[in-house]
Structure 1
Amino acid sequence: MIDTGLSGSVVLVTGAAGGIGAAIARAFAAQGAKVAVHHLATPPRSPRGVRWEHVFPEAEDAHALAAELGGIAVAADLSEADAPRRLFEAVGERLGPVRVLVNNAAHCESPDTVDALTADGLERHYRVNAIAPALLTAELARRAPEEGACVVNVSTDAARAFPGQIGYGTSKAALEAFTRAAALDLASSGIRVNAVAPGPVQTGWIGPEAIEEVRAIVPLGRVGEPDDIADAVVFLASRQARWVTGQVLQVAGGHAL
């Protein structure tokens, strides 16, 4: 049996109340980690004419998951500039210093095409998808235990070019660039920074009629599941990946190669 070296580690997973984030939280708990489940206290109200492209799990979901895993639930709006500091303080007070940070929370909205771009829409995407992960990583670097700290960012395999999702795609491309730069900046501190880039993953957004269409464009012939991503994240945080940093691991069944 492989020992990931994660038992007893404090792991903070953002956007962990449901979907991929919840699968990641469960995967770390299965390794004996102490997991902090981040969530939004109250789902934000979308501006007129804008539709959020994701489901906001209820706070109750986060607390139920935390209870299931023996961890804690912590609320923060990552679009707020001081949220990373407050989040790390809350986790540190209750569980101890964060050793593993998983930047999974993301913002996605529609319309997000070039002809529909607005300054506010771009700012919403970048605040949650690029700025917050950068500031959270900075907090980890300032507060991390002496050995073994790491960051795993969750991007998308469409970050290189995502037509129809300009704000979302470009903010994820920025996150991947940050991953590489931060890995080099923090290497001397022993902090590793990597990312996973998921392909089409079923978290409730792929309808029955679209399943076959997705299967047709994924070389391995199936839609992804949250556990597919969670297992890759755990690997990048484990001692088995101790000499891996600055990498973006595509977890997509060969999609978008």
Structure 2
Amino acid sequence: MTRLQGKIAIVTGVSRPGGIGAAICRAFAAEGADLFFTHLYDYDKNIYPNDANESWPDLFAGELHQSGGKVGHMELDLALPGSGLLLLEEVRKTVGVPTILVNNATYSVDADFRQLTEALIDAHCAVNIRGTFMLSAEFARMLEAEQSTGGKLGGRIINLTSGQGKGPMPGNLAYAATKGAISIFTESLAAELAPLCITVNAVDPGPTDSGWMSEEVKEALLPQFPMGRIGLPGDAARLITFLASDDSEWITGQIIHSRGGF
């Protein structure tokens, strides 16, 4: 299991042991990657009070380090202007020049048309749109600069979406709209970055049991999965690991709906 040996990867939004971000990091580490992940406890403690732990990132870094690679992490709010450059500088200093970026961090607060406010829209846009867009752009600029000095670096950008193009998502208006923007961004950025051998793809993992599902939600969702079970973080992690590897070099500009037939 060495598909990512010698690669350096960034994974954003890794704050909880049961989350998709943690599963991606574990899968990457198992394939030999050096890792840098971000986390934001102040957000997760409100959304996932039973799964968020302020001291967990340090413990998780120790777990990943047992695979033999370098590991770094930092608390980062992608809503802050300049956060993308700050992250890339820290990664280069701590681990090295990254060639894989997984935009897993997201902002999501349920709101229907009665609850929607300007502040809520701005909060979603700041992370899901501006944060994702600018980090991706700064990452690509960094790799372009490396190539201009004689480096032969390709790269991988992998975004997370939520199936907003498969049907309406009532009650979650700002989240659905901003995730939809990521899909459009993915397709257009892929065309721009193809000459640099940087692929850009997005993964929609469907409803995934990453700590937010109650037993009632699981019971309601299960009949809609023809494969007989609900999606798990590891399902998304396996696909994302493939997209991060050299085996996926001919795949770009795709929105992959990996949702077990949901």
Pairwise same-fold verdict (TM > 0.5): yes
Question: Residue 17 of structure 1: CA displacement?
Answer: 2.4
How is 1:73-152 mapped onto 2 (pairs within 5 angstroms)? 73-110=73-110, 112-144=111-143, 146-152=152-158
For residue 131 of structure 2, what is the amino acid of its counterpart? A
- Does structure 2 retain, via aligned residues, the 8 Å contact 1:35–1:72? yes
Structure 1 residues 45 and 29, CA gap change in structure 2 (3 angstroms): closer
| Residue equivalent to 2:240 | 233
1:220 alignment partner, one of 217, 227, 239: 227
Question: Residue 29 of structure 1: CA displacement?
Answer: 0.4
- Does structure 2 retain, via aligned residues, the 8 Å contact 1:16–1:24? no
Secondary structure of 2:73 counterpart: strand
RMSD: 1.8
C-alpha separation in 2, matches of 1:84 and 1:102: 13
Q: Is 1:69 aligned with 2:69?
A: no
Unaligned runs of 5+ in 1: 47-51
Structure 1 residues 45 and 96, CA gap change in structure 2 (3 angstroms): closer
C-alpha separation in 2, matches of 1:254 and 1:113: 27
For residue 12 of structure 2, what is the amino acid of its counterpart? T
1:20-73 deviation per Cα after TM superposition (whole angstroms, max 9, x unaligned) = 000001110001000112112x50599xxxxx5445733421121112112111
- Does structure 2 retain, via aligned residues, the 8 Å contact 1:176–1:195? yes
- Does structure 2 retain, via aligned residues, the 8 Å contact 1:121–1:167? yes
C-alpha separation in 1, matches of 2:241 and 2:44: 33
How is 1:153-164 mapped onto 2 (pairs within 5 angstroms)? 153-160=159-166, 161-164=168-171
How many pairs are equivalent?
246
| Residue equivalent to 1:49 | none
| Residue equivalent to 1:57 | 52
1:208 alignment partner, one of 181, 201, 215: 215
1:65-98 deviation per Cα after TM superposition (whole angstroms, max 9, x unaligned) = 1121121111211110111110110011111111
For residue 135 of structure 1, what is the amino acid of its counterpart? M
Q: Is 1:192 aligned with 2:190?
A: no
Question: Residue 148 of structure 1: CA displacement?
Answer: 2.6
Unaligned runs of 5+ in 2: 66-70, 147-151
| Residue equivalent to 1:17 | 15
For residue 77 of structure 1, what is the amino acid of its counterpart? D
Question: Residue 177 of structure 1: CA displacement?
Answer: 0.5
